[in-house]
Chain A
């Protein structure tokens, strides 16, 4: 069985510094408005009065998100021109020369991985820095993370080490696309059932 790559994110230790986001943008020379890796800021909770005291029950956590190179990639299935393909090692790539700019993949991806380049008129996405992998180097985002929140590796090894990714806000149910990713959730991610939970930087991502 071919080796399949995946990412690991330790959300509990992520400070939201966005070094991964910038490293990705820099390495791939992405134009303004396109972020293959984004840091999502999730916040919620409220101040609660107990007796005479006000207790802070607000929370914020960060999730570094890029293409999950899913095991059942919906983008590959819906693309009419076969511009999107999945390699044997699990990496999902887009061939810009085949893209007709119908945006169907953008509609379907639950991780916002497909990003439209207005100038080129085509979709773009994270390619797992496969050129770096061929040179034996880690992806740019992983190298840049000073908190060592991001890791990459063979997905079966990551799952053995960290367990399967769990369903936390704002990620969808993993059974939809079976993302090749593992995650250590932030300690406050269990609070997201509150109505006040929201993505704080939607405009940015």
Chain B
């Protein structure tokens, strides 16, 4: 695999997990509107924004590393009319700006429910558009293996799966004040329960989509080296690693999360164990993304 693809593996994954965490946070925030002014919730938001900021900075660094002449990156929005890459840059910049304002407001402890709501809604719209733009970059008419609706589904799946799992970790490692905030903890129980059930389903869907992307590799009918058998033989270990780490990771995650739900005083290194199981799922998604880039096949020379 070339340098350009490795850096893009990490750019896409970090950007998607950041957007996913943001979207889950927004869902939580709006279901929990009446508690929006509580200090516990504000602390939780601040910590989440900090994690999202760190993820975005890592994504930007990976994206910049993939450029061979980053000094010209300031021109990247010159073709908004036609290029999805230009649109991705614009949306990424907007998302970064919204996050920066949200982080700044949190840091300055300015809690205006109206401003917060506007920024969270704007961030969600831009975040979803950014996810779509990232996937459209790959849907080239000259690359039949990528030119499929599977790509946006897969990218959205990664975002929601990793974002929600990271949200669970963020909740668990919070100070006890959040967990003992009455309504807040009831809402958290429901959300974490939903994440547990939903993430298993999403994990299976993600693995199925990975398989379908590999299967599309046989679109090119003539050259021997593009057959599914060849791809499968070459990448089956990676696919099995994706399958194994994904299923084991998600099982462990739910196992470590359940004792915590409804019992925020549960003793044990739950945070650490959740992080380890999250990393296994992240490894699975990384394998899936490597398989995605490996499935590139141009309809031509």
**Residue positions of A touching B, CB distance < 8 A:** 40, 65, 74, 76-83, 97-104, 107-112, 116, 121-122, 169-173, 176-177, 192-193, 195-199, 205
Please give, as numbers and ranges, the residues of chain B lying within 8 Å of A111 by CB-CB distance: 300-301
Interface string of B112-154 (1 = CB under 8 A from A): 0000000000000000000000000100111100000000000
Asked if residues A100 and B78 are in contact (CB atoms below 8 Å), the reply is no
* A78 with B84, Cβ < 8 A, contacts A99-B72, A176-B141, A177-B142 known: yes
Give the nearest-CB partner of A192 in chain B.
B222
Asked if residues A80 and B86 are in contact (CB atoms below 8 Å), the reply is yes
Bound form: Cα–Cα A82–B224 in Å:
36
Asked if residues B143 and A170 are in contact (CB atoms below 8 Å), the reply is no
With A98-B75, A104-B137, A173-B299 known, 18 other A-B pairs at CB within 8 A are A77-B79, A78-B82, A78-B85, A79-B79, A80-B83, A81-B75, A82-B78, A100-B72, A101-B70, A104-B85, A108-B142, A110-B142, A112-B301, A122-B69, A170-B300, A176-B299, A198-B223, A199-B301
User: Can you list 14 residue pairs at the A/B interface with Cβ under 8 Å?
Assistant: A78-B140, A79-B83, A98-B75, A100-B73, A100-B75, A102-B67, A102-B85, A103-B4, A103-B68, A110-B142, A110-B300, A111-B301, A177-B142, A197-B222
Q: Which listed residue (A74, A80, A173, A198) contacts B76, Cβ 8 A?
A: A80
Nearest-neighbour CB distance to chain A for B43, whole angstroms, equals 39
Question: Secondary structure at chain A's binding surface: helix, strand, loop or mixed?
Answer: loop
**Residue positions of B touching A, CB distance < 8 A:** 4, 66-73, 75-79, 82-86, 89, 137, 140-143, 222-225, 296, 298-301
Give the nearest-CB partner of A116 in chain B.
B68
Please give, as numbers and ranges, the residues of chain B lying within 8 Å of A102 by CB-CB distance: 66-68, 76, 85
Asked if residues B75 and A170 are in contact (CB atoms below 8 Å), the reply is no
Q: Which listed residue (B68, B71, B85, B142) contacts A80, Cβ 8 A?
A: B85
Nearest-neighbour CB distance to chain B for A97, whole angstroms, equals 8
Asked if residues B299 and A172 are in contact (CB atoms below 8 Å), the reply is yes
* A80 with B141, Cβ < 8 A, contacts A101-B68, A112-B301, A195-B224 known: no
Question: Secondary structure at chain B's binding surface: helix, strand, loop or mixed?
Answer: loop
Q: Which of A74, A110, A205 has the most CB of B within 10 A?
A: A110
Asked if residues B78 and A74 are in contact (CB atoms below 8 Å), the reply is no
Please give, as numbers and ranges, the residues of chain B lying within 8 Å of A192 by CB-CB distance: 222
Nearest-neighbour CB distance to chain B for A16, whole angstroms, equals 15
* A81 with B76, Cβ < 8 A, contacts A176-B142, A205-B301 known: yes
Please give, as numbers and ranges, the residues of chain B lying within 8 Å of A99 by CB-CB distance: 69, 72
Q: Which listed residue (A78, A110, A170) contacts B83, Cβ 8 A?
A: A78
Nearest-neighbour CB distance to chain A for B123, whole angstroms, equals 23
Please give, as numbers and ranges, the residues of chain A lying within 8 Å of B142 by CB-CB distance: 74, 108-110, 172, 176-177
* A193 with B78, Cβ < 8 A, contacts A78-B83, A81-B72 known: no
Bound form: Cα–Cα A81–B85 in Å:
9
Q: Which listed residue (A82, A108, A176, A198) contacts B75, Cβ 8 A?
A: A82
Nearest-neighbour CB distance to chain B for A41, whole angstroms, equals 12
Q: Which listed residue (B67, B69, B77, B223) contacts A170, Cβ 8 A?
A: B223
Bound form: Cα–Cα A199–B140 in Å:
23
Bound form: Cα–Cα A196–B223 in Å:
8
Nearest-neighbour CB distance to chain B for A172, whole angstroms, equals 4
Q: Which of B82, B137, B141 has the most CB of A within 10 A?
A: B141
Bound form: Cα–Cα A121–B67 in Å:
9
Asked if residues B78 and A81 are in contact (CB atoms below 8 Å), the reply is yes
Nearest-neighbour CB distance to chain A for B301, whole angstroms, equals 4
Asked if residues B224 and A198 are in contact (CB atoms below 8 Å), the reply is yes
Bound form: Cα–Cα A197–B84 in Å:
35
Asked if residues B83 and A77 are in contact (CB atoms below 8 Å), the reply is yes
Please give, as numbers and ranges, the residues of chain B lying within 8 Å of A103 by CB-CB distance: 4, 66, 68
Give the nearest-CB partner of A78 in chain B.
B83
Nearest-neighbour CB distance to chain B for A76, whole angstroms, equals 8
Bound form: Cα–Cα A102–B79 in Å:
14
Nearest-neighbour CB distance to chain B for A178, whole angstroms, equals 12
Give the nearest-CB partner of B71 in chain A.
A100
Bound form: Cα–Cα A177–B143 in Å:
12
Q: Which listed residue (A65, A112, A199) contacts B223, Cβ 8 A?
A: A199
The 5 closest A-B pairs by CB, nearest first: A101-B68, A110-B300, A81-B75, A100-B72, A172-B299
Asked if residues B69 and A80 are in contact (CB atoms below 8 Å), the reply is no
Q: Which listed residue (B68, B77, B301) contacts A110, Cβ 8 A?
A: B301
Bound form: Cα–Cα A173–B144 in Å:
11
